[in-house]
Structure 1
Amino acid sequence: MNMRPVSIIGVPTDIGASAIGARMGPEALRVAGIVEAIARYGCPVSDWGNVTGPLNPQRGPVDGFRHLDEVAAWNRTLHDAIFAELEKGSLPLMVGGDHCLAIGSISAVARHCRERGHKLRILWLDAHADFNTSAITPSGNIHGMPVACLCGHGPAELTGIGGRTPVISPADIRLIGIRSVDEGEKRFLLEQGVEVFDMRYIDEVGMRRTLEMALDGVDEDTHLHVSLDVDFLDPEIAPGVGTTVRGGPTYREAQLCMEMIADTGRLGSLDIMELNPALDHRNMTAELAVDLVESLFGKSTLLRLYQS
């Protein structure tokens, strides 16, 4: 089991979305006991509080992007915070906040891997592919664009954070749990060769086989980054998100996903995104997210031979 110190960094903004509320996600996760949950399994954990950035001006899109300058400012600050923790040997856990913030966190992780000569594998757990560009989305919401930006398709303010464009290759990422993709986005994903395990695939082969495929090739030289959008989960069990899509993974499927990631021992960084307490019921979605994080850090029903 990975026993590196864990550094929690809150990013309280919904700057990349049209609906407000995800800015309250970090505090909801703290109230649900995320610090105590990780510490319970022997990991040293520090909560470094929240980074700060521009207020959400709640304006409409300009030239196809909503709040581009503000999104870029938040992500540059976040990149620096995540990179500093990685350089100290910590496992950064970014609690958001909307999913545009993954541009900053993954840019930092990719830079760290380049400088250390490590391979990178990203598991993007989400109901949405987040592979839109300003040309194929009418909303201009940047929380629907982070994967495309990381792969070099987007404005220069976002595609080069961390010093290289593109930040990652499509070969570095696996999208899991996808069930809502715009028409233009479908074609773009296919053209770029992004590997997508949608809900039909999970229905057909099961979560175990899906994770085996998504983790294929991960070895001791691989940094594994997990970016968990809470709308990955079925809204019956996780209503506290701004963009619910029916038909997501069940509680047990999600737990199996986290347990198999934990079994690799390669988890190096983590995002928890898009929790919107304003839409939740008695903080149940935050509590579920913390429950899943426990599984990532060692919770299991039984002691198993491959656990240390």
Structure 2
Amino acid sequence: MEPRRIALLGLPVDEGAGQPGCLMGPDAYRTAGLAGMIRALGHEVTDLGRVVPVPSGTALSGDARRAAVMDWVRAILPAAQDAAAGWDIPVFLGGDHSLTAGTLPGVAAHAARLGRPQFVLWLDAHSDVHTLDTSETGNLHGTPLAYALGLPGCEAYPPLPARIEPGHVCMMGLRSVDPAERRHIAELGLDAHDMRSIDKTGVTKPLLAFLDRVRQAKGRLHVSFDVDFLDPAIAPAVGTTVPGGATFREAHLIMELLHDSGLVTSVDLVELNPFLDHAGQTTRLMSDLCASLLGRSVLDRPTRMFRA
């Protein structure tokens, strides 16, 4: 990858998850030195600070957490569109996964302006295709992809500036999908790979097939990377741990293949909850994986000092 202009934008959304703490995620990435890691790869890095939502006051007549997420989405959506237009690769630092209800339509709107299709690689233990009607928990971090796909039942969200086509989505790492979500996946024909299929085929075959579709369509690619895609043994700092996730090597291989493709145009790093971390273990791993996506090879990876 040639040197790129990378933007970091903090989205400290906390109201979409059941476990508080994701609002500390953006600052954790900054403290871990993510910007310096990216600069060391030869890229130009601009830290855009953080998005600040404007409270609408609708919480007075409804669910306060839902209203707060809608305020976030209204603020994130134009910020994401601007970041996609102004930089080669914006990296959105979360924050729980409800933030993607703003980033994904935002980058899709920019893709539509360019006349190019928007593709999505969804790295997550969960499919997050619940609508507001089917979610049993009411946690909106389980609904952003349903909204971006334009499914009925998401009318409380702001109007979509650009809809993601179901055939432009690839999910990898699924291992906790509710019945309503399974129905949506089947009805929409989403390209969904659970960990059983990955155990059988590995990560390379389905990922390369998806990347070839992106390339053939001259599409733009958004990568939404949830911490719980990873096995909790190596990434404990997430409130929705599910055993049996991606290994260290599988995750780095995916990032390296994404880098080799040269197709990635935007990235979410979501659901990091530093309050649940073990001495910064998960923050360092997620930062290293982001660096791999942006070009760090195994020969560039620094030796870690032993920590008791």
4+ runs of 1 displaced by more than 6 Å? none
* 1:52 equivalenced with 2:52 (yes/no): yes
Which structure 2 residues correspond to residues 112-261 of structure 1 after superposition, within 5 A?
112-153=110-151, 154-158=153-157, 160-161=159-160, 163-164=161-162, 167-219=163-215, 221-261=218-258
* 1:288 equivalenced with 2:285 (yes/no): yes
* Contact in 2 for aligned 1:10/1:95 (Cα 8 Å): yes
Deviation of the 1:290 alpha carbon: 0.5
Q: Which of 267, 273, 289 is equivalent to 1:276? A: 273
| Partner-residue secondary structure (3-state), 1:217 | helix
Deviation of the 1:135 alpha carbon: 2.9
TM-score, normalised on structure 2?
0.90
- Residue 306 of structure 1: aligned partner: none
Partner Cα distance (1:66, 1:134) in 2: 15
Structure 1 residues 125, 159: CA separation in 2 closer, same or farther (over 3 Å shift)? farther
Deviation of the 1:289 alpha carbon: 0.3
| Partner-residue secondary structure (3-state), 2:266 | strand
Deviations 1:66-114 (A, max 9, x none): 7222212111211111211222243211001000111111111111111
How many residues are treated as equivalent by the alignment?
295
| Partner-residue secondary structure (3-state), 2:18 | coil
Partner Cα distance (1:264, 1:243) in 2: 30
Partner Cα distance (1:281, 1:12) in 2: 20
* Contact in 1 for aligned 2:6/2:45 (Cα 8 Å): yes
Deviation of the 1:17 alpha carbon: 1.2
| Partner-residue secondary structure (3-state), 1:299 | coil
Partner Cα distance (2:203, 2:254) in 1: 7
Deviation of the 1:54 alpha carbon: 6.1
Structure 1 residues 113, 2: CA separation in 2 closer, same or farther (over 3 Å shift)? farther
Deviation of the 1:302 alpha carbon: 5.6
Partner Cα distance (2:243, 2:209) in 1: 24
Partner Cα distance (1:85, 1:54) in 2: 19
Which structure 2 residues correspond to residues 18-167 of structure 1 after superposition, within 5 A?
18-53=18-53, 67-153=65-151, 154-158=153-157, 160-161=159-160, 163-164=161-162, 167=163
Q: Given residue 39 of structure 1, which amino acid in structure 2 is its aligned partner?
A: R
Deviation of the 1:158 alpha carbon: 2.2
Structure 1 residues 302, 280: CA separation in 2 closer, same or farther (over 3 Å shift)? closer
Partner Cα distance (1:108, 1:266) in 2: 18
Structure 1 residues 140, 2: CA separation in 2 closer, same or farther (over 3 Å shift)? farther
* Contact in 1 for aligned 2:91/2:267 (Cα 8 Å): yes
* Contact in 1 for aligned 2:13/2:98 (Cα 8 Å): no
* Contact in 2 for aligned 1:152/1:159 (Cα 8 Å): no
| Partner-residue secondary structure (3-state), 2:209 | helix
| Partner-residue secondary structure (3-state), 1:156 | coil
| Partner-residue secondary structure (3-state), 1:215 | helix
- Residue 301 of structure 1: aligned partner: 298
* Contact in 1 for aligned 2:131/2:154 (Cα 8 Å): no
Partner Cα distance (1:82, 1:66) in 2: 24
Partner Cα distance (2:187, 2:219) in 1: 26
Q: Which structure 2 residue ranges, 5 or more long, are not aligned?
A: 301-308
Structure 1 residues 79, 134: CA separation in 2 closer, same or farther (over 3 Å shift)? closer
Partner Cα distance (2:232, 2:210) in 1: 24
| Partner-residue secondary structure (3-state), 1:136 | coil
Structure 1 residues 85, 137: CA separation in 2 closer, same or farther (over 3 Å shift)? closer
Kindly report the root-mean-square deviation, in angstroms, between the aligned alpha carbons of the 2 structures.
2.0
